[in-house]
Amino acid sequence: MIPSLCEPGDDGNYGSTAVQDVHVVQTMATRIYYGLFVAESKFRSEREKATAMIKANDTDGLTAFITKPDVEKKNVQRVILKAKAFSQNIALDKPEESGPAMYKVNPEFIGTLFEEYIMPLTKEVEVAYLLARLDEPQREVSAQDETDVDWVNPARK
C-alpha cells in the first residue's frame, strides 16, 4: 500500500510523517466507528429479522443483512471524487495551460483502499456490535428511547 501512495526515497520528515500517520489511523477508526450507528439503524429498521440472526449467531447472515451493494458502490465513487478534488495538483501560474489533471495520489487507488479495507473493517465492527446487541439487559423502550442514541453509552441513563 505505501509504495502506491508515496514517492520512493527518504525525505527525512519522520516527525511529520508520524503525526500524519496517527491522524490517518484516527480518521479511519472514526469512520469505522460510525458503523455502529449504521448497524443500530439497520437493526431498528428490521428488528425481528436482525434479532433472529443474532440469536442464531449467523455472522454471514448479518453481513448480508448490513450489506447494501448499491450504497457501497455510491460510497466508493464518492471517495474517488473526493480524492480527485483534494489531491489535484493546481497550477497557480497558468491554470489554463496546465493540461490534464494531475493528482498527488491515484484517486482510483484510494477508492480501492476504501472498498477493500475500510468497508470490510466497518462491516466487521457492525457485525460484532449486532452480535453483542442483545447481551444487555432488556428494558422497556419508550418512543423517546427509540430515537435516542444512548445505546452507545447506556450508563448515562
pLDDT digits (tens, 9 = 90+) for 18-39: 898 899 899 999 999 999 999 9
pLDDT score, position 10:
85
Q: For residue range 91-104, what is the model confidence (pLDDT) as tens digits?
A: 777 666 667 788 88
Residues 6 or more apart whose Cβ sits within 8 Å of residue 75: 114, 119
Name the grid cell of 38. 449504521
Q: Output the CA–CA distances (angstroms, integers) from residue 122 to 54, 63, 80, in the order listed.
A: 18, 11, 18
Q: What percent of the chain is predicted at pLDDT more than 90?
A: 59
pLDDT score, position 144:
61
The mean per-residue pLDDT over the stretch 122-151 comes to: 75
What are the counts of helices (DSSP H) followed by strands (DSSP E) for the chain?
A: 8, 2
Q: For residue range 50-83, what is the model confidence (pLDDT) as tens digits?
A: 999 999 999 999 999 999 999 999 999 999 999 9
Name the grid cell of 28. 479511519
pLDDT score, position 57:
96
pLDDT score, position 2:
75
Residues 6 or more apart whose Cβ sits within 8 Å of residue 131: 54, 57, 59, 62
Domains present along the chain, CATH in parentheses: 20-134 (1.10.590.10)
